[in-house]
Every structure is written in structure tokens, then in C-alpha cells.
Structure 1
Amino acid sequence: MTLESRPPAINPTAEDAYWRDAYRREPYYRSELTYDDYAPAYRVGYTGPVRRSGEFEQLEPQLKDDFDRVRGKSRLRWEEAREATRAAWRRATRNEHPH
């Protein structure tokens, strides 16, 4: 496995803290929703690159299934959660998270 093909190292605690602070500034944010509504989507997004190999678009059906499995009491449906998941995926794959 080359360095480039290795999945990103993710610190779930740091990612959760980042999104808990940042979610209100995201373009898809809706003020009637809380962080608890978005959290499962973010979790699927930042853990996705560690668990799966490929691009977001090609893996979207599996990511949707992951979200549906872990969404709990979130009021989001996949169609609404997709952009939050994608944002967390992008952050994880760009290595923008603190190490």
C-alpha cells in the first residue's frame, strides 16, 4: 500500500468537535435543526474514506445505507443529509483535520 492509497487517519473526537462548531456556517444548514440532526451524516462522511475505497459519488449508495443505519433520531433524510456527508468526506480526504 503506498502512502497515497492509504486511507486518511481520522480522529473522530476532533472531527465531531470541528463539525459541532462549524455546522451552522455550512450552506445547507437549516436553523430549525440541531447538531444532533446533522451528526450522523458527518460521522458517515468522515469515517467513510477509512471504511471504503473509492470516490463519494460511486460510493453514495453504500453511504446512504450507512446513514440510514446510524441516523437514529436525526430528522434528516438522505436527500438532506447528503451534503453534510459530502462536506465531512471532503474534509477527511483533503486531510484538513488536525492530527
Structure 2
Amino acid sequence: MADSKDLKHEANHDPVTGEGEFHPAGTAGGAAVGGAVGIGAAAAAGAAMGAAAGPIGLAAGAVVGAVAGGLAGKAVAERVDPTVEDEYWRNNHTTQTFTAGRPFDDFHGAYRTGYEGADRYPDKTFDEVEPDLQNDYARNRGASTLDWPDSRDAARASWDRIVAQRVER
């Protein structure tokens, strides 16, 4: 099994600019979709404005659409990866002080609640959205017999991991 250092999130740096969070596949995919949408919108606008404005509108729409689509693709690529998070918590569960010797499966829903919540509420604190997280845990807990008070620390640890990764970026 990989240790926690191997699973630590590393920022993807652009090999040319050195900028953090380089996601070529997500950005390119978004640019392609955005460009296609921009071309369609520009073509409609260009046709409405007349033949002289059509090519200019088409070109401008393609550029704006590609940029907007690229940014949207990058945002999607930066979302929390549940497979990575589940693997991390499965491998590091026994090192947590709140587990009291209970198996990973008892806390899996709480870990999931934490990392999904941190992704869903990026501009909020855990305490601000705790009532929402408690409701989410009721849906995520699966077969776990743990109630929210017994699993809250696991959700908080998972939330804190995602927040710390954002700070590192």
C-alpha cells in the first residue's frame, strides 16, 4: 500500500508557465466545447448582423467561447476526486484518534460527507454548514450504526484535508 506521502495532493504545475493547477485535459476539453458553443452563438449573431459582420462575429465568438470553456474545464478538473479521497481514508483511517478501533466502513459515510461538503461549500466553514452536513451524513452513512455525534470528527477531518489542499495550491 502507498503511504500518505504518496497520496498527498500535488499541484499540477504548467510546464511552460509554472502556474499551479495545470489540467491540460480538462482545459482542452472545456475549450473545445466552449469554442463550439461560441462559434454557434457567434454564427447566429453574425447572421443576424449581416454578411459583413458574420466572419468577425464568428471569430470573436470562437475565441470568447474557447476561453470560457477552458476555464470551465479547468474548474471541473480541480474538483475533489472521491476515488483518491476514499483511498486516502481507507489507508489512513487507523491513524485517526476518533476511530476507537472501529473499522473504516463505520466511518466511510462520514469521510465522504466531509470531502463532498468541502467541495460543495468552498467559501464556508465546517461550522457554518454543519447542519447541512449532518443531513448529508444521514444519506451517506449506509449501514454504519454511528450517529452524527460519533462520526462528526471523521467528517471534520475529511473536510479539513480538502481545505488544506486548497491552501497548498
Same fold flag (TM > 0.5): yes
Q: 2:149 aligns with which of 79, 95, 99?
A: 79
Tell me the amino acid that sits aligned with residue 104 of structure 2: Y
Matched, 1:49 2:118: yes
Q: TM-score, normalised by structure 1?
A: 0.83
Matched, 1:40 2:109: yes
Tell me the amino acid that sits aligned with residue 109 of structure 2: P
Tell me the amino acid that sits aligned with residue 34 of structure 1: P
Equivalent in the alignment of 1:88: 158
Matched, 1:69 2:139: yes
Matched, 1:29 2:95: no
CA distance in 2, matches of 1:77, 1:66: 12
Identify unmatched segments of 5+ residues in structure 2: 1-74
* Bigger Rg, which one: 2
Tell me the amino acid that sits aligned with residue 89 of structure 2: W
CA distance in 1, matches of 2:116, 2:163: 10
Number of matched residues? 89
Give % identity. 37
Tell me the amino acid that sits aligned with residue 106 of structure 2: D
Work out which structure has the larger RCO, using CA pairs closer than 8 Å and 6 or more positions apart in sequence.
Answer: 1
CA distance in 1, matches of 2:161, 2:79: 12
Q: CA RMSD in A?
A: 1.6
| 1:10-48 C-alpha deviation (Å, 9 max, x unpaired) | 1110110000010111010121x2111100000010111
Q: TM-score, normalised by structure 2?
A: 0.50
CA distance in 2, matches of 1:21, 1:56: 24
8 Å Cα contact 2:112-2:140 kept in structure 1: no
Runs of at least 4 residues off by over 4 Å: none
